[in-house]
């Protein structure tokens, strides 16, 4: 009997590639998104249902999970992929931007997980994959909202992994780096009205690109392949890094003292390059 996976945020990017990969490997797929009426590719696949799910809408989560279990009987894996980034000057962030970042990346992920856990607990098995980022380990300037939300994903996932292990449920974290698209694609930028931040803000994205320009970036297909591997490899490994740039930043933090790491990041992005 085919196993079933529920994936959030499948309208594009990692989510769509992951849905296609699981389907290619014989899984039944519950592909969820906020605008299923616009989807034309996944709807053509056998054993794939495309359903409405907005992680900020508890009722939509409940309905999508019920539709999936009514159709396929079970949920063997959950991929919490839905998320987005808000970046920019924290002092200029609106209350709505702060709440929205957490509503999607943290609270929405938690609500979907809570909705699926009873099914996994009843069957005594299941795998939950939460999509984080290297930005869930390393924080950069102007990432206060995004980074802190992904730090929350990391802490939630690690704690939950211990909590549900005796129930036969595994929790894992995927940490991609920049994906072969421009770093700003898909980001919501905070409108800064405080001029003193502008010099650092103006230089940040160029310095960010330059720091890892020599390293290969992951593709959506590579991220999907890692998600599939993490779901099916049977290991107790908690974290999976995707992309050499992600590994570069994570190594900078984990292989240096806290003082050396902090100095390194500030030399990359904050300190005047001429005076270094």
Per annotation, catalytic residue among 20, 150, 172, 217: 150
Q: Determine how many CB atoms are found less than 10 A away from the CB of residue 151.
A: 18
Tell me the per-residue pLDDT of 55-86, one tens digit each, with 9 for 90 and over: 999 999 999 999 999 999 999 999 999 999 99
| Choice among 28, 132, 133, 148 that is catalytic | 132
For 115-131, what is the mean pLDDT? 98
Q: Locate 204 and state its tokens.
A: 């940040």
Q: What does the pLDDT look like over 204-229, one tens digit per residue?
A: 999 999 999 999 989 999 999 999 99
Cβ atoms < 10 Å from Cβ of 154? 19
146 tagged catalytic: yes
Domain boundaries, the chain: 4-194+217-243
Active site residue 125: no
Q: Pick the catalytic residue from 146, 208, 228, 249.
A: 146
The mean per-residue pLDDT over the stretch 178-188 comes to 67
- Note if 132 is an active site residue: yes
Q: How far apart are the first and last CA of the chain?
A: 61
Looking at the structure, give the CATH architecture of the domain made up of residues 4-194+217-243: 3-Layer(aba) Sandwich (3.40)
Q: Which residues pair with 177 in a beta bridge?
A: none
- pLDDT tens readout for residues 251-270: 999 999 999 999 999 999 99
Confidence of residue 185 (pLDDT cuts 50, 70, 90): low
Strands 187-189, 169-176: pairing kind: unpaired
pLDDT > 90: what percent of the chain?
93
For residue range 4-52, list pLDDT tens digits in order: 999 999 999 999 999 999 999 999 999 999 999 999 999 999 999 999 9
Per-residue confidence (pLDDT) for residue 276, from 0 to 100: 52
| More confident site: 20 or 273 | 20
Q: What percent of the chain has pLDDT over 70?
A: 96
């Amino acid at each position: 009997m085919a196993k079933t996976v529920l994936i959030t945020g499948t309208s594009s990017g990692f989510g769509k590639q992951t849905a296609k990969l699981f389907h290619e490997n014989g899984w039944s797929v519950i592909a969820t998104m906020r605008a299923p009426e616009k989807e034309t590719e996944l709807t053509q696949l056998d054993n794939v249902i495309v359903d409405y799910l907005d992680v900020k809408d508890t009722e939509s989560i409940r309905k999508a999970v019920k539709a999936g279990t009514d159709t396929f009987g079970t949920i063997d894996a959950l991929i919490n992929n839905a998320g987005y980034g808000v970046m920019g000057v924290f002092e200029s962030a609106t209350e709505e931007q702060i709440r929205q970042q957490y509503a999607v990346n943290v609270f929405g992920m938690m609500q979907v997980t809570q909705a699926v856990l009873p099914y996994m607990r009843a069957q005594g098995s299941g795998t939950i994959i939460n999509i984080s980022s290297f930005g869930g380990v390393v924080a950069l300037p102007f990432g206060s909202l995004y980074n802190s939300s992904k730090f929350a994903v990391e802490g939630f996932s690690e704690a939950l992994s211990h909590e549900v292990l005796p129930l036969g449920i595994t929790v894992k974290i995927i940490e991609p780096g920049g994906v072969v698209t421009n770093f700003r694609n898909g980001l919501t930028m905070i409108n800064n009205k405080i001029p003193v931040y502008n010099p650092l803000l103006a230089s940040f994205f160029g310095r960010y690109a330059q720091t890892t320009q020599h390293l290969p970036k992951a593709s959506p297909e590579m991220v999907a392949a890692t998600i599939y591997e993490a779901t099916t490899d049977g290991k107790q490994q908690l974290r999976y890094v995707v992309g050499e740039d992600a590994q570069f930043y994570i190594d900078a933090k984990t292989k240096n003292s806290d003082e050396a790491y902090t100095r390194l990041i500030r030399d990359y992005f904050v300190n005047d390059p001429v005076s270094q």
